[in-house]
Amino acid sequence: MHIDVHIEKQVRAARRRFDLSVQFSADTTRLALYGPSGAGKTLTLQMLAGLVRPAKGRIVVDGKTWFDSNRGIDVPPRDRRVGYVFQDYALFPHWTVAQNVSGAFARGWPRPLSASQARRVERVLLSFDLSDIRDSYPSQLSGGQRQRTAVARALVGRPRVLLLDEPFAALDGMLKNRLRAELLAIQAHYEIPMILITHDPDDLAACADVVVSLDAGRVIDVAIGNRPAPQSSAPFAPPAANSLVAHDAMQT
C-alpha cells in the first residue's frame, strides 16, 4: 500500500486548542502511528477513515485520492472501504456477535443479507473462533472475544486497509502477546495493509515496518523497518529502534 498524507486540522475543546499538521508518505503493509497520548494519532486515523474532515490537505492511497481540499474531493467512508477497529472496540451493545460482524453488510436496513454475504459472515465467524458465542451480546464477552469481534466486523466487508486504534492498550501482558500474534496472523492471512496506533514500543517491534512518530500534532520522525531514520532532537523517546533490532535477532 502506498499512502501519501498531508493534512491539517484545528480542534477546539473548551479553552484548549489543538493544531494538527501531519505529513508523511510510506509504501508498506504495516504502518504504525506512534506517540504519547494527545499527539494526534487518533485524529489522524479518523481523518484517514473519513470520519473527521481535515481543514485542508490531501490523502492519497494507492493512487486514489480520498481527500483533496484544493480539488474539493472528500470520499465518504463507505467508498474508502476501510476497516476500523476502535480503541474500546465500539461494538454495538444492542447487537449479538453475529449481528455485529454482519454490520458491514447491513447498510440498507432492513434488507436481509444475500446468500454470499451470509456465507462470508459464517466463514469469518468460524476463522475468528466466534461461532460458539455468535448469539452473545458484547457485554457478555471477555476482552479477547471483544477484540476478535471488532476485528472480524472490520474485516468482513473486505476493506482495502485495516485501521486499528490502540488495539492492545486495554489488555494485560499475557493476553496482549497472544492477541498481537493473532492479529499478525490475520493480517498475513488476509493480506490486508494495516495502519496501527500505539504508544507501546513492543507493538512497534512486533507489528510495524514503518513507524511514523507523532508528537503535539506534528510528525517528528519516520522510521523504516530496522533502519531507523536519523533521529531528530525530539523531546519524545525515539521509536524503539533497539526493540526492532532485538525482535529481528529473536526471529533469526
Binding site for another protein (CB under 8 A): 46, 49-51, 76-78, 81-84, 86, 88-94, 103-104, 106-109, 137-139, 146, 153-154, 157
Identify the bridge partners of residue 32 per DSSP, sorted by sequence position: 196, 211
Minimum distance from residue 52 beta carbon to another protein (Å)? 9
Q: Which residue has the cell 532485538?
A: 246
The residue among 102 and 213 lying less far from another protein, judged by its C-beta, is 102
Cα–Cα dist 186/84, whole Å: 15
Which residue, 26 or 91, has its beta carbon nearer to another protein? 91
Query: Of 9, 27, 28, 20, nearest to 67 (Cα)?
Result: 9
CB of 144 to another protein, least distance (A): 14
Can you tell me the distance from the alpha carbon of 133 to that of 147, in angstroms, rounded to the nearest whole number?
13
Beta carbon of residue 222, minimum distance to another protein (angstroms, whole number)? 26
The residue count of the chain comes to 252
By beta-carbon proximity to another protein, the closer residue of 79 and 235 is: 79
Residue 147 has a CB neighbour count (10 Å cut-off) of 24
The least distance separating another protein from the CB of residue 149, rounded to whole angstroms, comes to: 10
- Provide the minimum distance between the beta carbon of 221 and another protein in the complex, in angstroms, as a whole number: 28
* Strands 64-68 vs 161-165: parallel, antiparallel or unpaired: unpaired
- Helix-helix angle 143-155:115-127, to 10 degrees: 150
- Minimum Å gap between C-beta 75 and another protein is 12
Between 81 and 119, name the residue whose CB sits nearer to another protein.
81
36 or 103, CB closer to another protein?
A: 103
Rounded to the nearest angstrom, the gap between the alpha carbon of residue 143 and the centroid of all alpha carbons in its chain is 18
User: How many CA within 13 A on the CB side of residue 187?
Assistant: 22
- By beta-carbon proximity to another protein, the closer residue of 50 and 201 is 50
